[in-house]
């Protein structure tokens, strides 16, 4: 079945460092890909999405490109802030109507000043 694999955390960075969180997927067909973020004590918020190959999703300085040839959707940010400390989840959704999200295990990011 479909699955998502994320790099293990935690990831600990200093403010203004470059961030990469790797995400690869296994799916039949052409899924949509997402990054969600969960700040401490809160629910999940959609960070960005991409619905087809070579699409680049971006939001709040974060970017991820849908790479079908490598089945990847890595999250990047050029300069992290303390406020970016959170858990990041990569997820996919199949193209059939009513398909729910399949999540990776999540990666905890901790940014220090």
Partner 1 sequence: SAVISQKPSRDICQRGTSLTIQCQVDSQVTMMFWYRQQPGQSLTLIATANQGSEATYESGFVIDKFPISRPNLTFSTLTVSNMSPEDSSIYLCSVKEQGGQPQHFGDGTRLSIL
Residues at the contact surface with partner 1, assessed by CB under 8 A? 32, 34, 36, 42-46, 49, 51, 89, 93, 98, 100-106
Nearest approach, Cβ of 72 to partner 1 (angstroms)?
Answer: 18
Residue closer to partner 1, measured from CB, 5 or 17: 5
Q: From start to end of the chain, where are the E strands?
A: 3-6, 11-14, 19-21, 23-26, 32-38, 44-50, 56-59, 62-65, 75-77, 86-93, 101-103, 107-112
Residue closer to partner 1, measured from CB, 51 or 72: 51
C-alpha to C-alpha distance for 59 and 9, rounded to whole angstroms: 22
Residue closer to partner 1, measured from CB, 20 or 45: 45
């Amino acid at each position: 079945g479909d699955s998502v694999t994320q790099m293990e955390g935690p990831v600990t960075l200093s403010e203004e460092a470059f961030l990469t969180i790797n995400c690869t997927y296994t799916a039949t067909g052409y899924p949509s890909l997402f990054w969600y973020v969960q700040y401490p004590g809160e629910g999940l918020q959609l960070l960005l999405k991409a619905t087809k190959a070579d699409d680049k999703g971006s939001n709040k300085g974060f970017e991820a490109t849908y790479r079908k040839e490598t089945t990847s959707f890595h999250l990047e940010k050029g300069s992290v802030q303390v406020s970016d400390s959170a858990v990041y989840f990569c997820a996919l959704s199949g193209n059939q109507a009513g398909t729910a999200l399949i999540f990776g295990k999540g990666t905890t990011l901790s940014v220090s000043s």
